[in-house]
Amino acid sequence: MGVEFTGRRGALFWLALKTGFFSILTLGFYRFWMKTRLRRWYWSAMRPGGHPLEYVGDPLEKLLGFFIAVVILTFYIGIVNLLLMFASFSVFNSSALGYVASFAGVIPLWFYARYRARRYVLARTRWRGVRFGLERGAWGYAIRALWYWFLTIVTLGALWPRMTFLLEKYKTDRTFFGSARMLQGGRWQMLYRAAAPFIAALIVLLGTGLWLFWLDPVFATGFENGAAVVEAVDGFFEGRMPVDNWSSPERLLLIPLALSGLLFGAIYYRWVSKRIMAQHKMAPGIQFDSQLSGVRVTFIYVLGNFIAYVMLVLGLVAMIFLGAFMFSDSLLFLTDMPGAQTALSLPRWVSIVLLAVMYLVFFLMWGVLYNTFVTFPLMRHMALTTSLPVTAGLPLISQRDRDAFAEAEGFAEALDLGAAI
């Protein structure tokens, strides 16, 4: 059984633009309706076996869940922070430890919110009328995530594939489609194949650094400390540093190339690991398969983000330039341009409102372009490369009870984890 994708980029562009505009007009309250409409559009475009997925989430659930989460988190974080800061000042006579402990205390909530968000999305997704679902277990996921991250950090990343596999297995083994429980098969060692480009890029980066700064230094005379390095770089750009102090400075171009390879490896690992694990997902009488291309996904990420962020950066630069022209004397030489006198004669509050509107418009366009050139092609590629080679168990699946789950994705929204589709 293959998966079709029937969505069109133009229709998504106008939907994202319209719903984003309403979100701005309502000071963000419409975002819960915006996310619901976008999900319904994406879900209905993906059609396994010709039958569209359905998203039946209610925006009011999201709004109420957000308010509930904000109240709980405000109380929790406020009380905890107060106690931590009191202990930090009383014992160590400093606030630094209190700030560090306060940040560390939010990390478990972050993992907790991610699991609950996935549970809500699955509980509101149906295919052929049958509901998906995810068992309770958010705190178990958070505890495991903290432990796996600790092991990954102390091993300098060597156990990253183990963490990726075990966290996904924890979620998959608690996922249901109707009465059928899913199972994540395979072993965590298989994900090292996906990490090969990242490992190679890291080796190249370390070797490049060793060559440029130790074996055959670019700075021939060397430096006493970090301040001398900064002074040398400033002198190079200002023309004050003699050329003979450099040894083949063009070799420094190898560093951004190696960093680009590291970025490619990170994106490649994230998505190819998903493909490998998808090939080992199963349910009674059902088998999954994925032919997702890591290179294609990387291209989508790089090109799509470039388009979206170019719009954002150019807009912010234009806004800063206009603000400097209206509120300072540094750009008065542009007063002869058409419309310049009109802009200068506006009341200050009108100018501030115009700049605020420009700011919101640029972020609106960034969100629209991100949906159009990143999320859309990723969803389409994932759908078209996914299939079910074994479907004999589908007729044996019965319906499952509806998961009420009143808090929806409130914790993910309150912790700023709910922006993605």
Residues sharing a CB contact under 8 Å with residue 236, sequence separation 6 or more, in sequence order: 246, 249
Residues sharing a CB contact under 8 Å with residue 50, sequence separation 6 or more, in sequence order: 4
| Contact status, residue 108 vs residue 142, Cβ threshold 8 Å | yes
Alpha carbon 419 to chain centroid, angstroms: 9
CA angle 235-241-242, nearest 5°?
Answer: 170
Give me the tens of pLDDT residue by residue for the chain, a chain 421 residues long: 999 999 999 999 999 999 999 988 888 889 899 999 999 999 999 999 999 999 998 888 888 888 878 887 777 777 777 777 777 777 776 666 767 777 777 888 889 888 988 999 999 999 999 999 999 999 999 999 999 999 999 999 999 999 999 999 999 999 999 999 999 999 999 999 999 999 999 999 999 888 877 777 776 655 555 566 666 666 665 655 554 456 677 777 888 899 999 999 999 999 999 999 999 999 999 999 999 999 999 999 999 999 999 988 888 887 777 776 666 655 554 555 555 556 556 677 677 777 788 888 888 889 899 999 999 999 999 999 999 999 999 999 999 988 877 666 766 766 665 445 6
| Contact status, residue 347 vs residue 278, Cβ threshold 8 Å | no
E runs forming strands in 117-226:
125-127, 130-134, 175-177, 180-181, 183-184
> What count of Cα atoms within 13 Å lies in the side-chain half-sphere of residue 187?
3
| pTM above threshold 0.75 | yes
Question: Directed axis angle between helix 294-327 and helix 348-370, to 10°?
Answer: 170
For 89, left (φ over 0), alpha (ψ -120 to 50), or beta? Answer: alpha
